[in-house]
Amino acid sequence: MEDILIKALAFDNQARIYAVTTTEALNLVGDRMSYFPSALDALGRVMSMAAMMGGTLKLEETVTLRIEGNGQIGRIIVDADAHGHIKGYAENPHCHFENANGTLNSKATIGDQGTITVIKDLHLKEPFIGYTPILNGGIAEDMAYYYSVSEQVPTAISLGVLVDEDSRAKVSGGFMIQLLPNATEDIITEIENKVKSLPNISELLSEGYTPLDIIKNIDKNALILDTTPVEFKCNCSKERFARGILSLGSKEIKDIIDEDGKALTTCHFCGNEYFFSKEELIDLYEEAIRNKK
Ligand code: ZN
């Protein structure tokens, strides 16, 4: 089933709800890079989170969510935009930790210390950058803390992935409820009780609940504002990688030419490879020299 993101206005116009599935996008990355179950679980949570953050953006704005914990997976980076496009990867996809009861151990995978960085390109002079510490590595609680501290928006978040025996995601998704400034104490209590009463998101999704069902389950009177297909999309190109090589500077490029005489670059997000011949590297070297002047 196609991944989607749904945005709704709920609780008497006092909150927004976002609900998303990222199963297809996650399996696309997982299959390509042979992700182990714990790594797939971690990337799926971050993907769902970033996709919903993308849903809070306008037009050409973009967001990068970077999780850097002390766990084995290393860095996790996911980019998202307002049109349902996401791309992401984990530094070490080949890590796997289970709890004693057989569930996946996200604390060992992601870590319980480290930094969450949110970079929003809002097409202003400078991007918005927010940092908060990792609290427990489950991502949902960590990101709720981020929203409360960094953006002063009280937010409830649930994220989940269910990995099957073939190390593929059976489901991946999440929801997020954000209070609007006019939210009353009564509504806040109502939302808190509702969130506590809900089963785990991965349970709901594997029972066949769609993002729309989940929103209606949270508030049956919710008004649907927007439904966007979510898809993995990488915007890498040889030109982008050429600019990357150029940014190394003339000395570094000269070293590559002298040592290897060629370069093969790989996109972390989609796995595409771009080859640069000696002639192309010499062109870039000459351009780097010109740029210095
Ligand atoms: Zn790419």
Q: Please tell me the distance between residue 269's alpha carbon and the centre of ligand 1 in angstroms.
A: 5
CB 22 within 8 A of CB 235: no
Q: Please tell me the distance between residue 284's alpha carbon and the centre of ligand 1 in angstroms.
A: 21
Q: Please tell me the distance between residue 102's alpha carbon and the centre of ligand 1 in angstroms.
A: 34
pLDDT tens track for 170-215: 999 999 999 999 999 999 999 999 999 999 999 999 999 999 999 9
Please list, in sequence order, all residues whose beta carbon lies within 8 angstroms of the beta carbon of residue 102, skipping any fewer than 6 positions away.
none
**Mean pLDDT along residues 124-130:** 93
pLDDT tens track for 150-171: 999 999 999 999 999 899 999 9
Q: Please tell me the distance between residue 151's alpha carbon and the centre of ligand 1 in angstroms.
A: 30
Q: Please tell me the distance between residue 209's alpha carbon and the centre of ligand 1 in angstroms.
A: 32
Tokens of 157: 């978040």
Q: Please tell me the distance between residue 32's alpha carbon and the centre of ligand 1 in angstroms.
A: 12
Q: Tell me how far apart the alpha carbons of residues 125 and 122 are, in angstroms, rounded to a whole number.
A: 9
Q: Report the pLDDT value the prediction gives residue 94, as an integer from 0 to 100.
A: 95
Q: Please tell me the distance between residue 191's alpha carbon and the centre of ligand 1 in angstroms.
A: 39
Helix (H) or strand (E) holding 114: strand 114-121
Kindly report each contact of residues 237-246 with a partner whose C-beta sits within 8 Å and lies 24 or more positions away, as own/partner. Answer: 238/274, 241/265, 241/267, 241/274, 241/276, 242/276, 242/280, 242/284, 245/276, 245/281, 245/284, 246/284, 246/287, 246/288, 246/291
Q: What phi, psi does 108 have (nearest 5°)?
A: -70, -30
The DSSP secondary-structure symbol of 125 reads S
Q: Please tell me the distance between residue 67's alpha carbon and the centre of ligand 1 in angstroms.
A: 19
Whether 293 shows a pLDDT value over 80: the answer reads no
Q: Please tell me the distance between residue 30's alpha carbon and the centre of ligand 1 in angstroms.
A: 15
Tokens of 277: 């011949």
Q: In one letter, which amino acid is 62?
A: T
CA angle, residues 79, 80, 81, in degrees to nearest 5: 140
Q: Please tell me the distance between residue 242's alpha carbon and the centre of ligand 1 in angstroms.
A: 14
E-only strand ranges, the chain: 4-10, 15-21, 62-69, 75-81, 85-90, 114-121, 128-133, 155-163, 169-179, 223-229, 231-232, 263-266, 273-276
Q: Report the pLDDT value the prediction gives residue 1, as an integer from 0 to 100.
A: 79
Mean pLDDT of the chain: 94
Q: In one letter, which amino acid is 137?
A: G
Residue 107 pLDDT level (bands cut at 50, 70, 90): confident
Q: pLDDT exceeding 70 applies to what percent of the chain? A: 100
Sign of CA dihedral 264, 265, 268, 273: negative
Q: Please tell me the distance between residue 83's alpha carbon and the centre of ligand 1 in angstroms.
A: 18
pLDDT tens track for 22-72: 999 999 999 998 999 999 999 999 999 999 999 999 989 999 999 999 999
Q: Please tell me the distance between residue 88's alpha carbon and the centre of ligand 1 in angstroms.
A: 10
Q: Please tell me the distance between residue 238's alpha carbon and the centre of ligand 1 in angstroms.
A: 10
pLDDT tens track for 244-274: 999 999 999 999 999 999 999 999 888 899 9
Q: Please tell me the distance between residue 210's alpha carbon and the centre of ligand 1 in angstroms.
A: 29
Q: Please tell me the distance between residue 165's alpha carbon and the centre of ligand 1 in angstroms.
A: 28
Other CB atoms within 10 A of residue 225 CB:
14
Q: pLDDT exceeding 90 applies to what percent of the chain? A: 89
Q: Please tell me the distance between residue 240's alpha carbon and the centre of ligand 1 in angstroms.
A: 10
Q: Report the pLDDT value the prediction gives residue 116, as an integer from 0 to 100.
A: 97
Q: Tell me how far apart the alpha carbons of residues 176 and 153 are, in angstroms, rounded to a whole number.
A: 12
Q: Please tell me the distance between residue 237's alpha carbon and the centre of ligand 1 in angstroms.
A: 7
**Sheet of 75-81, strand order:** 128-133, 114-121, 62-69, 75-81, 85-90, 231-232
Q: Tell me how far apart the alpha carbons of residues 116 and 136 are, in angstroms, rounded to a whole number.
A: 12
Please list, in sequence order, all residues whose beta carbon lies within 8 angstroms of the beta carbon of residue 178, skipping any fewer than 6 positions away.
15, 16, 18, 56, 147, 153, 154, 155
Q: Please tell me the distance between residue 141's alpha carbon and the centre of ligand 1 in angstroms.
A: 30
Q: Please tell me the distance between residue 94's alpha carbon and the centre of ligand 1 in angstroms.
A: 20
Q: Report the pLDDT value the prediction gives residue 102, as an integer from 0 to 100.
A: 83
Among 107, 111, 194, residue whose Cα is nearest residue 156: 194
